[in-house]
Amino acid sequence: QVHLVESGGGSVQAGGSLRLSCVASEYTYSGYCMGWFRQAPGKEREGVAAIANDGSTGYADSVKGRFTISKDNAKNTLYLQMNSLKPEDTAMYYCAADLTTGYRPRTLVAVPEMMDYWGQGTQVTVSS
C-alpha cells in the first residue's frame, strides 16, 4: 500500500532552519529512491534532493550546502534538514518515491516526473 505523509513545514525567518519528515509505508519505502520536491505558486515543480537505497544522494544546485537529505530505515522515514533558509525557498514541499525506474538521485532531482508516488505536501514559508 502506498503511503507518504509529510510534516515539519512552517514559517521561519530568513537564515532559519526547518526539518521536514516523510513517513512512508513499508511498500513505498522499499523502492529505489525517495526524494523531496517543491512547488512555489505560479512555478513548476522542481527537485530539491533525492536519496537512493544505497545512500547516494543528489541535490539541486540551489540548495547544495544548505539542505541535507537523510533516511532512517528503522522508522521508514525520510528527512530534509534545511538550514540558511531563503525567501526563495518558500514553497509546498512534497515527498515522493520511485518504485519503478531505478534512476540515480541526480536524474530524479532533475526530472520530478519520473517519481511514482507523491505525498500531500507540507508548506514552508520563509520571510525576509
Could you give the 3-state DSSP secondary structure of residue 122? strand
Query: Which residue type is seen at 95?
Result: C
For residue range 12-67, list pLDDT tens digits in order.
999 999 999 999 998 888 889 999 999 999 999 999 999 999 999 999 999 999 99
Closest listed residue to residue 20, CA positions, set 126, 128, 121: 121
What is the C-alpha to C-alpha distance for residues 14 and 96, in angstroms, rounded to an integer? 26
For residue range 97-126, list pLDDT tens digits in order.
999 998 999 999 999 999 999 999 999 999
What is the C-alpha to C-alpha distance for residues 74 and 86, in angstroms, rounded to an integer? 32
Rg (CA), the chain: 13
SS3 string of 29-76? Answer: HCCCEEEEEEECCCCCCEEEEEEECCCCEEECCCCCCCEEEEEECCCC
What pLDDT, on a 0 to 100 scale, did the predictor assign at position 98?
95
